[in-house]
Amino acid sequence: MLSKNYSRLAKTSTLFILAMAVSFHAKIAGADDANSHFPNIELITQDGKTVHFYDDLIKGKIVAIDFIYTSCQYACPLETARMAQVQKKLGDRVGGDIFFYSISIDPEHDTPQVLKAYKEKFHIGPGWTFLTGKKKDIDLLSKRLNVYSDPSINADGHLPHLLIGNEATGTWIRANALDNPSFQARMIGDFLDNFKHTDFKAEQQRQTGDGSAISNFDRGKYLFARDCVACHTMGQGDKVGPDLLGVTTVRNHDWLVKMIQHPEQLLKENDPIATAMLKKYNNVRMPNVSVNNDELDLLLRYLETATAHNNKEATAGANAVAAKPADASTATTHPNR
């Protein structure tokens, strides 16, 4: 639930963000010798290049660092997809003054080749490097950075910690990689940068604009944007997961409910559609993002409305999504694919 509270936070003022960040700052940057947090260990990039953690990766830079492993099935795909959204929001600053690093905590399995394939699977652009190395070095690093989690902590064997910081100013914040991407982007791009790139005038205008639009705010659309767009589109094609335009017409209601609220159960029951889909989408699992019943109704209504709207717009049905009866639930693909 932490991430949901945070996403609400993202809507509140910069001041609030500031207050929170400072309190984390005190916790992490408390040590007098900042360098002791940053062992200069050797790591290898997804392209096979050897680099040193302190000298090559963080010195003088604004960075976001998480620890992942590519065979992780539960939170990690969501973590990576969320980070990809943050990267998109920050635009070409990533690779310019901001750098993202994902370091494998399963370096024996995650060779540079495996990391490279993972990076491609998530359509990750430049400025974000995946790294492997010696297990004992990486354990030491995550402990020093205060983001180590005991492998027995949960089914994933780690927590979605994200460490963001600016080495030049010595500000470090331990965040949650599953947080709202806009919030995360503001923390990394504005706060850590002492608001050097922030356009305050545009910011003010945006806030008044938002205020007047709230009355007809579509909550379902908002939820979809918050919890699903990291991996899905409505009519813009497949992303990490399938394009969901028309999904309410090809799948039956009960199956959809299960897929959205308890995707892991469908796989456990060897549901043929879910199993085939998992294969098709490179074994990236649809994560359980804790959708409650109210949110489920809103999301389903949004999926339906957006599909209906699209059908109406399509000229003489040329691009229309063919509406199929609900019993077509054995189809493994959408008619629009």
| Residues at the contact surface with ligand HEC, assessed by CB under 6 A | 77-78, 81, 227-228, 230-232, 240-242, 244, 247, 251, 256, 259-260, 274, 277-278, 281, 284-287, 289, 291, 299, 334
Paired tokens of 169: 């100013």
The least distance separating ligand HEC from the CB of residue 276, rounded to whole angstroms, comes to 9
* C-alpha distances in Å from residue 8, one per residue of 4, 5, 153, 185: 7, 5, 27, 15
Q: Count CA atoms within 13 Å of residue 113 on its CB side.
A: 2
- Cβ of residue 176: shortest distance to ligand HEC, in angstroms? 15
Which CB atom, from 124 or from 244, has the smaller least distance to ligand HEC? Answer: 244
Output 138 or 299, the one with its CB closest to ligand HEC: 299
In the bound complex, which residue of the shown chain has the CB atom lying closest to ligand HEC? 241
CB of 251 to ligand HEC, least distance (A): 5
Shortest Å, Cβ 275 to ligand HEC: 8
Q: Which is nearer to ligand HEC, 198 or 329 (CB)?
A: 329
Residue closest to 292 by CA, chosen among 243, 237, 219, 241: 219
Return the number of the residue (68 or 277) whose C-beta is nearest ligand HEC.
277
Residue 73 C-beta: closest distance to ligand HEC, Å: 10
Residue closer to ligand HEC by CB (options 44, 299) is 299
What is the C-alpha separation between 139 and 144, in angstroms, rounded?
9
Encode 167-196: b = buried (16+ Cβ within 10 Å), e = exposed. Answer: beeebbbbbbbbbbbbbbbbbbbbbbbeee
In single-letter form, the type of residue at position 166 comes to N
- Closer residue to ligand HEC in complex, CB, 37/239: 239
Closest CA to 99 of 129, 79, 140: 129
In the bound complex, what is the minimum distance in angstroms from residue 177's beta carbon to ligand HEC?
Answer: 12
Cα–Cα distance for residue pair 190/197, rounded to 1 Å = 7
Going by C-beta distance under 8 Å and a sequence separation of 6 or more, which residues neighbour residue 170? 29, 34
Query: How far apart are the C-alpha atoms of 318 and 297, rounded to whole Å?
Result: 30
Q: The tokens 């949650």 sit on which residue?
A: 176
Residue type at 186?
R
For residue 125, the minimal CB distance to ligand HEC (Å) is 17
Q: Which is nearer to ligand HEC, 165 or 241 (CB)?
A: 241
